[in-house]
Amino acid sequence: MVFDYIDGASGAESTARRNRSAFERFLLRPEILVDLSARTLETSLFGQPVAMPLVIGPTGMNGAYWAEGDLCLARAAKAANVPFVMSTAATVKLATLVAEAGPLRWFQLYMLRDRGLAQALLERVHAAGFQVLQLTVDTAVTGRRNRDVRNGFTLPFRWSGRKLIDTALRPGWAMQMLHTGSPTLQLFAEVVGRIEPGSTITEVVQRQISDAFTWRDLDWLRSCWPGKLVLKGVSEPAHVRMGLAAGIDGVVVSNHGGRQLDGTGSTIEQLPRIAEAADGRMTVLIDSGFRHGADIAKALALGADAVQIGRPALYGLAAAGEAGVHHALGILSAELEVAMALSGACNVRQLRGRVDVAVDVDVDGVKPSEASRVASRPC
C-alpha cells in the first residue's frame, strides 16, 4: 500500500504514463570538439547559489516510507546544496525540520479554508527562515487515486489481514513502524488541531483545503508573504501572464505527477510555451515524470531554470533512507553532467535550445503533426 501511494496516480494513470513517454519526443542535440574542461552544474535560484539545477520538491506522508522521512530528505538536500521544499502534509513538526534542514529551505502551502490559520502558519514559516513559498494551485479538489482506494490507505494505518501479510513480507519496514509508530500529519495537526483517526489522506486534506481560492485572492497571499512566491501547478501560458500581473516570482510547471487530473498533457510538452510566456521575467521550474539526468537536460534546454523531483527522491528514501536519497541525487547529477557535456554545454545556461522535436515518436498513440525545431544558441 505504501509503494502504491508513492507510485500511483489518478484515474487510469494515463497522465502519469504520458509524463514519461513524452520525453521521447524531445531529442538532445550532440555537439563535438568543444572545450568542456571548465564545465559546472552550479547555478542560482531566486538569487541563491545551488550546486545543480535540482530541487527536492514537496511530498506528503514521507514518514510512511522511512522513519523520519522528511528529515532524511532535508538532510540529503543540505548535503547536496540544493533546495528542499517542506510540504504542508509533512510528518514532522516545523521546528524539528528547521533544526535539520539547510539554509535552502522552501515551503509548500495548501491554501486552508480558514484564512486566519493560513496567515498564522505563514508567519511561523517565515520566522523559521523559509525564503520561498510554493502555493499548490491544482488541488482544489483531490484526484481519485484508485490504488489508494483499493488498498484502503488511511491515516493512521487501518489494518486488515491482507495488509498484515503484506507487512510481514517486509520486516525491515515493519520494524521501523513499530519503533516510530504510525506516521501522522504532524504539521497539519499543529496548524488545524487534532486529525480524526481513521480518516483517509484524501479526507484529511480535502476537509482543510480551500476550494474557493481564486486569482483575486492572490493579492491577499502576496501581502501575507514577504518572500518569493511561486505557483505550483501551472499548465498554460495564460497562467504565467496572470501570475506576473499578480506579482508572482515563479511557477512550477506541474500536473502533480499525474496524481490530480487524469487525461492531461505532459509537463515537458507544455514547458516551451510557458517558458516563452515567462520570457525571463520569472523563475520557471518543472516537475512530473522526471527519472533521468537526460530528462533534466531536456527541460533545461526547453527553458526551465531547474527541475523539481518527487518520486526519484522517494524511491531512494523508501529503499535506503537518507543514504538512498543521496544515491538518487548522485545518479541524477552524474547523468546530467554527461548529458550536458555531450551536448556541448559548459554550464546549464548553455543547454538552452540544444534540443530537437522528433516527428516519428508516438506519445500515447498520438504523433506530432509536423516537425518542430528549437533555435540553437552557441556554447
| Catalytic residue annotation | 256
Q: How far apart are the first and last CA of the chain?
A: 48
User: What is d(CA 18, CA 14) in angstroms, rounded to the nearest whole number?
Assistant: 6
At 295 the three-state DSSP class reads helix
User: CA 310, 287, 150, 154: dihedral to nearest 10 degrees?
Assistant: 50
Residues ≥6 apart with Cβ < 8 Å to 280: none
Q: Which of 280, 310, 286, 282 is nearest to 300 (CA)?
A: 286
Residues ≥6 apart with Cβ < 8 Å to 231: 134, 135, 137, 239, 243, 248, 250, 251, 252
Q: Which of 290, 286, 266, 289 is nearest to 278 (CA)?
A: 286
Residue with cell 484508485: 146
User: What is d(CA 342, CA 28) in angstroms, rounded to the nearest whole number?
Assistant: 9
